[in-house]
């Protein structure tokens, strides 16, 4: 793997020097190497060149997107739990609210 990562880096550096429309970056959250260019065919050509000239196999696909959700307004809850299955059964109640900090 370390040999592949060295060849991978060499290939990307060479392609960036050769073609100003080919860009490389690393997503800090997913740690994926993101390449961008003039279109899908443009990128496929570089992927094939990496395989042919440097012997580097790559996993290609859409970049992963980290979804984030936030609380926009206060949300109240009131939950009553009852379970009767012979014997004394179970009973519980939770009341509260969730709000943005």
Q: What is the pLDDT of residues 28-48, one digit of tens each?
A: 888 889 999 999 999 999 999
How many Å separate Cα 60 from the centre of its chain? 13
Q: pTM, whole model, 2 decimals?
A: 0.59
Backbone angles phi, psi at 12, to 5 degrees: -65, -45
Q: Which of 93, 91, 97 is nearest to 80 (CA)?
A: 93
Binned at pLDDT 50, 70 and 90, residue 4 comes out as: low
């Amino acid at each position: 793997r370390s040999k592949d990562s060295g060849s991978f880096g060499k290939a990307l550096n060479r392609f960036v020097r050769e073609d100003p429309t080919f860009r490389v970056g690393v997503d800090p959250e997913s740690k994926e190497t993101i390449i961008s260019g003039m279109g899908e065919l443009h990128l496929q050509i570089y992927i094939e060149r990496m395989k042919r000239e440097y012997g580097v196999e790559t996993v290609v696909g859409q970049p992963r997107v980290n979804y984030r959700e936030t609380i926009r307004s206060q949300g109240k809850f009131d939950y009553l739990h009852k379970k009767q299955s012979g014997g004394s059964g179970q009973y519980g109640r939770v009341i509260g609210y969730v709000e943005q900090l």
